[in-house]
Structure 1
Protein backbone atom coordinates (compact mmCIF):
# COMPACT_ATOMS: atom_id res chain seq x y z
CA UNK A 1 0.00 0.00 0.00
CA UNK A 2 0.96 3.60 -0.52
CA UNK A 3 2.79 5.08 2.46
CA UNK A 4 3.66 8.57 3.69
CA UNK A 5 6.21 9.07 6.44
CA UNK A 6 7.15 12.60 7.52
CA UNK A 7 10.40 13.25 9.41
CA UNK A 8 12.32 16.38 10.48
CA UNK A 9 15.15 17.03 8.04
CA UNK A 10 17.65 17.01 10.91
CA UNK A 11 16.24 13.95 12.75
CA UNK A 12 15.51 11.08 10.35
CA UNK A 13 14.76 8.67 13.21
CA UNK A 14 11.88 10.86 14.43
CA UNK A 15 8.59 10.01 12.75
CA UNK A 16 6.10 12.88 12.84
CA UNK A 17 3.48 11.10 10.75
CA UNK A 18 3.24 7.64 9.22
CA UNK A 19 0.08 6.73 7.36
CA UNK A 20 -1.23 4.49 4.61
CA UNK A 21 -4.56 6.33 4.47
CA UNK A 22 -4.83 7.66 0.90
CA UNK A 23 -7.01 10.63 1.87
CA UNK A 24 -4.58 11.66 4.63
CA UNK A 25 -1.65 11.27 2.22
CA UNK A 26 -3.35 13.39 -0.45
CA UNK A 27 -4.24 16.08 2.10
CA UNK A 28 -0.76 16.26 3.66
CA UNK A 29 0.84 16.53 0.22
CA UNK A 30 -1.74 19.00 -1.11
CA UNK A 31 -0.85 21.32 1.79
CA UNK A 32 2.68 21.35 0.34
CA UNK A 33 1.53 21.88 -3.30
CA UNK A 34 2.29 18.25 -4.21
CA UNK A 35 -0.45 16.40 -6.07
CA UNK A 36 -1.26 12.78 -5.24
CA UNK A 37 -4.09 10.76 -6.71
CA UNK A 38 -4.90 7.25 -7.87
CA UNK A 39 -5.79 5.97 -11.31
CA UNK A 40 -7.69 2.72 -11.82
CA UNK A 41 -5.44 -0.19 -12.66
CA UNK A 42 -6.13 -0.92 -16.30
CA UNK A 43 -3.32 -3.30 -17.15
CA UNK A 44 -1.38 -6.09 -15.51
CA UNK A 45 2.21 -5.15 -16.18
CA UNK A 46 4.75 -7.89 -16.83
CA UNK A 47 8.30 -7.63 -18.17
CA UNK A 48 6.79 -8.50 -21.57
CA UNK A 49 4.27 -5.62 -21.55
CA UNK A 50 5.42 -3.13 -24.17
CA UNK A 51 5.48 0.60 -23.56
CA UNK A 52 2.90 1.02 -26.32
CA UNK A 53 0.53 -1.50 -24.69
CA UNK A 54 0.86 0.26 -21.35
CA UNK A 55 0.32 3.73 -22.79
CA UNK A 56 -2.68 2.47 -24.79
CA UNK A 57 -4.23 1.02 -21.62
CA UNK A 58 -4.01 4.44 -19.93
CA UNK A 59 -4.56 6.56 -23.05
CA UNK A 60 -7.57 8.49 -21.68
CA UNK A 61 -5.83 9.39 -18.41
CA UNK A 62 -2.53 10.22 -20.14
CA UNK A 63 -4.18 12.47 -22.72
CA UNK A 64 -6.27 14.28 -20.09
CA UNK A 65 -3.28 14.88 -17.81
CA UNK A 66 -1.13 16.12 -20.69
CA UNK A 67 -3.85 18.53 -21.82
CA UNK A 68 -4.52 19.80 -18.28
CA UNK A 69 -0.87 20.38 -17.37
CA UNK A 70 0.70 21.23 -20.72
CA UNK A 71 2.82 18.09 -20.74
CA UNK A 72 4.12 17.23 -24.21
CA UNK A 73 6.28 14.13 -23.81
CA UNK A 74 5.49 10.77 -22.26
CA UNK A 75 7.65 7.70 -21.82
CA UNK A 76 7.85 4.54 -19.75
CA UNK A 77 10.64 3.80 -17.26
CA UNK A 78 10.94 0.27 -15.96
CA UNK A 79 13.18 -2.20 -14.22
CA UNK A 80 12.22 -5.81 -13.53
CA UNK A 81 14.46 -8.32 -11.74
CA UNK A 82 16.53 -10.57 -13.95
CA UNK A 83 19.16 -13.22 -13.33
CA UNK A 84 22.84 -12.44 -13.54
CA UNK A 85 25.55 -10.02 -12.56
CA UNK A 86 24.88 -7.65 -15.46
CA UNK A 87 21.37 -6.96 -14.25
CA UNK A 88 22.59 -6.46 -10.67
CA UNK A 89 25.15 -3.92 -11.88
CA UNK A 90 22.57 -2.15 -14.03
CA UNK A 91 20.08 -2.07 -11.15
CA UNK A 92 22.66 -0.74 -8.67
CA UNK A 93 23.69 1.99 -11.11
CA UNK A 94 20.07 2.95 -11.81
CA UNK A 95 19.30 3.07 -8.09
CA UNK A 96 22.29 5.25 -7.28
CA UNK A 97 21.50 7.75 -10.05
CA UNK A 98 18.78 9.59 -8.13
CA UNK A 99 19.60 8.69 -4.50
CA UNK A 100 21.17 12.10 -3.94
CA UNK A 101 19.13 15.23 -3.37
CA UNK A 102 18.33 17.09 -6.57
CA UNK A 103 15.65 19.19 -8.22
CA UNK A 104 14.24 19.59 -11.71
CA UNK A 105 13.39 22.65 -13.79
CA UNK A 106 9.90 21.28 -14.42
CA UNK A 107 7.32 19.34 -12.45
CA UNK A 108 8.17 15.68 -11.90
CA UNK A 109 5.03 13.75 -12.80
CA UNK A 110 4.99 9.97 -12.45
CA UNK A 111 2.31 7.28 -12.63
CA UNK A 112 3.24 3.91 -11.17
CA UNK A 113 1.70 1.13 -13.27
CA UNK A 114 3.59 -1.62 -11.44
CA UNK A 115 5.79 -2.09 -8.39
CA UNK A 116 7.03 0.47 -5.88
CA UNK A 117 9.41 3.37 -5.51
CA UNK A 118 9.91 6.09 -2.90
CA UNK A 119 10.11 9.82 -3.48
CA UNK A 120 11.70 11.75 -0.61
CA UNK A 121 10.51 15.36 -0.75
CA UNK A 122 12.63 17.87 1.20
CA UNK A 123 10.06 20.53 2.01
CA UNK A 124 11.39 23.28 4.29
CA UNK A 125 12.48 21.53 7.50
CA UNK A 126 10.70 18.23 6.80
CA UNK A 127 11.27 15.18 4.61
CA UNK A 128 8.15 13.53 3.21
CA UNK A 129 8.88 9.93 2.18
CA UNK A 130 6.15 8.92 -0.28
CA UNK A 131 6.19 5.22 -1.13
CA UNK A 132 4.28 4.90 -4.38
CA UNK A 133 2.72 1.70 -5.67
CA UNK A 134 0.75 0.60 -8.71
CA UNK A 135 -2.07 3.05 -9.36
CA UNK A 136 -0.38 6.09 -7.75
CA UNK A 137 0.05 9.37 -9.62
CA UNK A 138 2.46 11.86 -8.02
CA UNK A 139 3.23 15.36 -9.27
CA UNK A 140 6.13 17.16 -7.57
CA UNK A 141 6.45 20.90 -8.33
CA UNK A 142 9.47 22.17 -10.25
CA UNK A 143 12.35 23.17 -8.00
CA UNK A 144 11.38 20.83 -5.15
CA UNK A 145 14.45 19.28 -3.53
CA UNK A 146 14.00 15.51 -3.49
CA UNK A 147 15.54 12.12 -4.16
CA UNK A 148 14.18 8.78 -5.33
CA UNK A 149 14.83 5.20 -4.20
CA UNK A 150 13.77 2.27 -6.36
CA UNK A 151 14.96 -0.26 -3.77
CA UNK A 152 17.78 -2.83 -3.72
CA UNK A 153 15.96 -5.08 -6.21
CA UNK A 154 14.12 -2.60 -8.44
CA UNK A 155 10.81 -3.86 -9.75
CA UNK A 156 8.67 -1.04 -11.11
CA UNK A 157 7.14 0.42 -14.22
CA UNK A 158 6.20 4.10 -14.34
CA UNK A 159 4.78 6.42 -16.96
CA UNK A 160 6.78 9.64 -16.95
CA UNK A 161 5.48 13.00 -18.17
CA UNK A 162 7.58 15.94 -19.37
CA UNK A 163 7.23 19.43 -20.75
CA UNK A 164 10.60 19.25 -22.56
CA UNK A 165 12.95 16.46 -23.65
CA UNK A 166 15.52 17.28 -20.97
CA UNK A 167 12.94 17.86 -18.22
CA UNK A 168 14.12 14.82 -16.27
CA UNK A 169 17.71 16.06 -15.92
CA UNK A 170 18.52 16.60 -12.24
CA UNK A 171 20.23 19.63 -10.71
CA UNK A 172 22.02 18.03 -7.77
CA UNK A 173 22.30 20.08 -4.57
CA UNK A 174 25.51 18.38 -3.34
CA UNK A 175 23.87 18.13 0.11
CA UNK A 176 24.37 14.73 1.81
CA UNK A 177 20.92 14.75 3.48
CA UNK A 178 19.67 11.61 1.71
CA UNK A 179 22.37 9.46 3.31
CA UNK A 180 20.75 9.67 6.75
CA UNK A 181 17.19 8.72 5.86
CA UNK A 182 15.71 5.21 5.76
CA UNK A 183 15.77 3.68 2.30
CA UNK A 184 12.71 2.17 0.63
CA UNK A 185 13.40 -1.34 1.92
CA UNK A 186 13.68 -0.07 5.53
CA UNK A 187 10.43 1.90 5.23
CA UNK A 188 8.60 -1.17 3.96
CA UNK A 189 10.06 -3.40 6.70
CA UNK A 190 8.63 -1.12 9.38
CA UNK A 191 5.17 -2.32 8.42
Structure 2
Protein backbone atom coordinates (compact mmCIF):
# COMPACT_ATOMS: atom_id res chain seq x y z
CA UNK A 1 0.00 0.00 0.00
CA UNK A 2 1.31 3.46 -0.90
CA UNK A 3 2.10 5.44 2.23
CA UNK A 4 3.21 8.98 3.07
CA UNK A 5 4.91 9.67 6.40
CA UNK A 6 5.78 13.26 7.28
CA UNK A 7 8.49 14.12 9.82
CA UNK A 8 10.00 17.21 11.30
CA UNK A 9 13.62 17.20 10.16
CA UNK A 10 14.68 17.37 13.83
CA UNK A 11 12.59 14.32 14.84
CA UNK A 12 13.38 11.43 12.45
CA UNK A 13 12.25 8.81 14.95
CA UNK A 14 8.52 9.57 14.79
CA UNK A 15 6.32 10.88 11.96
CA UNK A 16 3.70 13.44 12.90
CA UNK A 17 1.47 12.43 9.96
CA UNK A 18 0.93 9.07 8.23
CA UNK A 19 -1.40 8.78 5.24
CA UNK A 20 -2.45 5.70 3.27
CA UNK A 21 -5.33 6.93 1.08
CA UNK A 22 -4.14 7.95 -2.38
CA UNK A 23 -6.31 11.09 -2.38
CA UNK A 24 -4.80 12.27 0.93
CA UNK A 25 -1.27 11.51 -0.24
CA UNK A 26 -1.89 13.37 -3.50
CA UNK A 27 -3.34 16.44 -1.76
CA UNK A 28 -0.62 16.63 0.90
CA UNK A 29 2.21 16.30 -1.62
CA UNK A 30 0.58 18.82 -3.97
CA UNK A 31 0.81 21.40 -1.16
CA UNK A 32 4.63 21.17 -1.42
CA UNK A 33 4.76 20.98 -5.23
CA UNK A 34 5.12 17.21 -5.60
CA UNK A 35 2.92 15.40 -8.13
CA UNK A 36 1.59 12.01 -7.00
CA UNK A 37 -0.96 9.96 -8.92
CA UNK A 38 -2.19 6.41 -9.21
CA UNK A 39 -2.28 5.19 -12.82
CA UNK A 40 -4.36 2.11 -13.55
CA UNK A 41 -2.51 -0.64 -15.36
CA UNK A 42 -3.36 -0.69 -19.05
CA UNK A 43 -1.76 -4.09 -19.53
CA UNK A 44 -0.32 -6.83 -17.37
CA UNK A 45 3.47 -6.79 -17.11
CA UNK A 46 5.06 -10.14 -16.41
CA UNK A 47 8.42 -10.71 -14.72
CA UNK A 48 11.22 -10.35 -17.21
CA UNK A 49 9.24 -8.11 -19.58
CA UNK A 50 11.45 -6.08 -21.88
CA UNK A 51 11.66 -2.29 -21.81
CA UNK A 52 9.85 -2.25 -25.15
CA UNK A 53 6.94 -4.26 -23.69
CA UNK A 54 6.76 -2.04 -20.59
CA UNK A 55 6.76 1.18 -22.62
CA UNK A 56 4.14 -0.21 -25.03
CA UNK A 57 1.85 -1.18 -22.14
CA UNK A 58 1.83 2.39 -20.81
CA UNK A 59 2.21 4.31 -24.08
CA UNK A 60 -1.01 6.40 -23.70
CA UNK A 61 -0.09 7.60 -20.20
CA UNK A 62 3.53 8.27 -21.21
CA UNK A 63 2.50 10.27 -24.28
CA UNK A 64 0.02 12.30 -22.23
CA UNK A 65 2.67 13.13 -19.61
CA UNK A 66 5.28 13.94 -22.26
CA UNK A 67 2.81 16.30 -23.92
CA UNK A 68 1.82 17.99 -20.65
CA UNK A 69 5.32 18.46 -19.28
CA UNK A 70 7.55 18.46 -22.37
CA UNK A 71 9.61 15.41 -21.42
CA UNK A 72 11.85 14.32 -24.28
CA UNK A 73 13.38 11.07 -23.03
CA UNK A 74 11.80 7.99 -21.49
CA UNK A 75 13.36 4.74 -20.33
CA UNK A 76 12.75 1.78 -18.03
CA UNK A 77 14.82 0.83 -15.02
CA UNK A 78 14.44 -2.71 -13.72
CA UNK A 79 16.38 -3.99 -10.74
CA UNK A 80 16.24 -7.38 -9.09
CA UNK A 81 17.91 -8.82 -5.97
CA UNK A 82 20.46 -10.49 -8.28
CA UNK A 83 21.61 -7.28 -9.98
CA UNK A 84 25.43 -7.25 -9.75
CA UNK A 85 25.62 -3.50 -8.98
CA UNK A 86 22.68 -3.29 -6.56
CA UNK A 87 24.81 -2.19 -3.56
CA UNK A 88 26.62 0.54 -5.54
CA UNK A 89 23.38 1.82 -7.05
CA UNK A 90 21.65 1.86 -3.68
CA UNK A 91 24.51 3.83 -2.12
CA UNK A 92 24.40 6.37 -4.96
CA UNK A 93 20.63 6.94 -4.71
CA UNK A 94 20.66 7.07 -0.88
CA UNK A 95 22.74 10.24 -0.83
CA UNK A 96 20.72 13.44 -0.61
CA UNK A 97 20.74 15.16 -4.00
CA UNK A 98 18.87 17.45 -6.35
CA UNK A 99 18.29 17.56 -10.09
CA UNK A 100 18.04 20.43 -12.54
CA UNK A 101 14.76 18.92 -13.76
CA UNK A 102 11.81 17.07 -12.26
CA UNK A 103 12.52 13.47 -11.29
CA UNK A 104 9.57 11.49 -12.65
CA UNK A 105 9.02 7.82 -11.86
CA UNK A 106 6.09 5.53 -12.57
CA UNK A 107 6.28 2.22 -10.71
CA UNK A 108 5.17 -0.62 -12.98
CA UNK A 109 6.10 -3.31 -10.45
CA UNK A 110 7.64 -3.56 -7.01
CA UNK A 111 8.29 -0.62 -4.74
CA UNK A 112 10.74 2.02 -3.57
CA UNK A 113 11.00 4.72 -0.91
CA UNK A 114 11.39 8.37 -1.95
CA UNK A 115 12.36 10.76 0.85
CA UNK A 116 11.94 14.47 0.17
CA UNK A 117 13.72 17.04 2.34
CA UNK A 118 11.57 20.13 1.89
CA UNK A 119 12.26 22.98 4.28
CA UNK A 120 12.22 21.66 7.84
CA UNK A 121 10.21 18.56 6.91
CA UNK A 122 10.97 15.15 5.44
CA UNK A 123 8.25 13.43 3.40
CA UNK A 124 8.77 9.67 3.03
CA UNK A 125 6.72 8.32 0.13
CA UNK A 126 6.48 4.55 -0.19
CA UNK A 127 5.75 4.13 -3.90
CA UNK A 128 4.32 0.89 -5.19
CA UNK A 129 2.93 -0.54 -8.41
CA UNK A 130 0.80 2.04 -10.29
CA UNK A 131 2.27 5.06 -8.42
CA UNK A 132 3.55 8.08 -10.34
CA UNK A 133 5.72 10.58 -8.48
CA UNK A 134 7.28 13.76 -9.81
CA UNK A 135 9.85 15.37 -7.53
CA UNK A 136 10.29 19.04 -8.50
CA UNK A 137 13.59 20.28 -9.90
CA UNK A 138 15.84 21.51 -7.10
CA UNK A 139 14.06 19.54 -4.35
CA UNK A 140 16.47 17.79 -1.99
CA UNK A 141 15.70 14.08 -1.85
CA UNK A 142 17.03 10.52 -1.82
CA UNK A 143 15.68 7.14 -2.92
CA UNK A 144 15.95 3.72 -1.29
CA UNK A 145 15.43 0.65 -3.43
CA UNK A 146 16.35 -1.70 -0.56
CA UNK A 147 19.11 -4.23 -0.05
CA UNK A 148 17.29 -6.61 -2.39
CA UNK A 149 15.78 -4.29 -5.01
CA UNK A 150 12.78 -5.59 -6.88
CA UNK A 151 11.09 -2.96 -9.01
CA UNK A 152 10.39 -1.81 -12.55
CA UNK A 153 9.89 1.91 -13.13
CA UNK A 154 9.39 4.14 -16.14
CA UNK A 155 11.52 7.29 -16.00
CA UNK A 156 10.85 10.49 -17.93
CA UNK A 157 13.38 13.28 -18.48
CA UNK A 158 13.70 16.77 -19.95
CA UNK A 159 17.45 16.23 -20.13
CA UNK A 160 18.52 13.90 -22.96
CA UNK A 161 21.43 12.76 -20.76
CA UNK A 162 18.98 11.23 -18.27
CA UNK A 163 19.62 11.04 -14.53
CA UNK A 164 22.11 13.71 -13.40
CA UNK A 165 22.44 14.27 -9.62
CA UNK A 166 23.90 17.18 -7.68
CA UNK A 167 24.80 15.87 -4.20
CA UNK A 168 24.19 18.13 -1.19
CA UNK A 169 26.84 16.58 1.06
CA UNK A 170 24.26 16.49 3.90
CA UNK A 171 24.11 13.17 5.79
CA UNK A 172 20.42 13.62 6.70
CA UNK A 173 19.39 10.48 4.79
CA UNK A 174 21.24 8.35 7.34
CA UNK A 175 18.77 9.47 10.04
CA UNK A 176 15.60 8.32 8.28
CA UNK A 177 13.88 5.04 7.33
CA UNK A 178 15.11 2.41 4.96
CA UNK A 179 12.86 0.37 2.70
CA UNK A 180 13.38 -2.77 4.81
CA UNK A 181 11.62 -1.02 7.71
CA UNK A 182 8.42 -0.79 5.62
CA UNK A 183 7.67 -4.52 5.50
1:74 match: 74
Contact 1:149/1:183, CA 8 A, preserved across alignment:
yes
- The whole-number CA distance in structure 2 between the counterparts of 1:52 and 1:139 is 22
1:56 match: 56
Please provide the CA RMSD for this pair.
Answer: 1.1
SS at match of 1:114: strand
* Correspondence 1:168 to 2:163: yes
- The whole-number CA distance in structure 2 between the counterparts of 1:46 and 1:95 is 24
- The whole-number CA distance in structure 2 between the counterparts of 1:12 and 1:166 is 34
Contact 2:99/2:139, CA 8 A, preserved across alignment:
yes
1:180 match: 175
Structure 1: runs of 5+ lacking an equivalent: none
Contact 1:47/1:80, CA 8 A, preserved across alignment:
no
1:6 match: 6
- The whole-number CA distance in structure 2 between the counterparts of 1:124 and 1:116 is 26
1:23 match: 23
With 137-146 and 5-14 compared, the bigger mean Cα shift is at 5-14
With 166-175 and 123-132 compared, the bigger mean Cα shift is at 166-175
Structure 2: runs of 5+ lacking an equivalent: none
- The whole-number CA distance in structure 1 between the counterparts of 2:117 and 2:46 is 32
Q: TM (normalized to structure 1)? A: 0.92
1:76 shift after superposition: 0.2
For the structure 1 residues 79 and 145, does the alpha-carbon distance in structure 2 shift closer, same or farther, using more than 3 Å as the test?
same
Contact 1:38/1:135, CA 8 A, preserved across alignment:
yes
1:91 match: 86
Q: How far does the alpha carbon of each residue in 1:102-143 deviate from its partner, in whole angstroms, 9 at most, with x for none?
A: 000000011000000011000100000001000000011100
Q: How far does the alpha carbon of each residue in 1:46-103 deviate from its partner, in whole angstroms, 9 at most, with x for none?
A: 4420100110011100001001000000000111233xxxx4x521111111101000
- The whole-number CA distance in structure 1 between the counterparts of 2:111 and 2:48 is 18
* Correspondence 1:132 to 2:145: no
Q: TM (normalized to structure 2)? A: 0.96
SS at match of 1:116: strand
